[in-house]
Amino acid sequence: AQSVTQLDSQVPVFEEAPVELRCNYSSSVSVYLFWYVQYPNQGLQLLLKYLSGSTLVESINGFEAEFNKSQTSFHLRKPSVHISDTAEYFCAVSVRKTSYDKVIFGPGTSLSVIP
Amino acid sequence: EAQVTQNPRYLITVTGKKLTVTCSQNMNHEYMSWYRQDPGLGLRQIYYSMNVEVTDKGDVPEGYKVSRKEKRNFPLILESPSPNQTSLYFCASSLGWGNQPQHFGDGTRLSIL
């Protein structure tokens, strides 16, 4: 069965430091990959996605993620975090089923940026 | 403004008292879905709908019902709520599925006593 693993449930990091949030998935078929961000008391918002083409994808607020097919990973990185980046981050994988594409979410990583 | 609207945002109720959580989207999306979010488990899909009158079970459908009579609305029904259904619920919609990102509502926090 397909699954998504986010190894770190909580990541504290000082402001302006770099951060990496890890995501690994298990699937034997082609997938689409997403990172969503959830701010307190809000729904999830799309941060970035990988569908095809360049394996490095970027968001408008400085995050980037790299698709590594051999390691089945899609880690999220930011070179310098801000207080406003404090949120829950979810990795999601879309996998082809018989009649539709199923989206599987990881358990989430809580990023806390320390002033 | 493109949005997914859920109501209510918060609800405390008692075991066995039927309740409905409404979900409406204004983007003419075909695909809609309900998730529950529990600590350490991420989001788990309850039900999904690929279009009007087309619904199917997700990973955790027990104790829930849905309907899709109109494209914009996708209500979640708990016929006889139980305490294990206490959770944070999200409705989402997307233009299609697979390579299309989902748009989420702000969530409904249900407490079943």
Contacts of A27 in chain B (CB under 8 A): none
Contacts of A34 in chain B (CB under 8 A): 101
* Residue B47, CA atoms < 13 Å, CB-side half-sphere: 20
- Search chain A and give the residue with CA nearest B47: A102
Contacts of A105 in chain B (CB under 8 A): 35, 42-44
Q: Going along chain B, which residue ranges are E strands?
A: 4-7, 10-13, 19-25, 31-38, 42-51, 54-57, 65-66, 76-78, 87-94, 103-104, 108-112
pLDDT reading at B6 higher than 80: yes
CA–CA separation, A112 and A56 (whole Å): 24
Higher pLDDT, B27 or A98: B27
Cβ separation A107–B40 shorter than 8 A: yes
pLDDT reading at A110 higher than 90: yes
User: Closest Cα to residue B5, out of B88, B107, B109, B100?
Assistant: B107
Q: What percent of chain A has pLDDT over 90?
A: 63
Q: Which of A103, A105, A109 to substitute to test the interface with B, most B CBs within 10 Å?
A: A103
Q: Amino acid identity of A86?
A: T
Cβ separation A105–B42 shorter than 8 A: yes
- Search chain A and give the residue with CA nearest B103: A45
Answer whether A7 touches B (CB < 8 Å): no
pLDDT tens digit string along B20-46?
999 999 999 999 999 999 988 889 999
pLDDT tens digit string along A51-95?
888 888 888 889 999 999 888 999 999 999 999 999 999 999 988
Q: What one-character DSSP code corresponds to residue B102? A: P
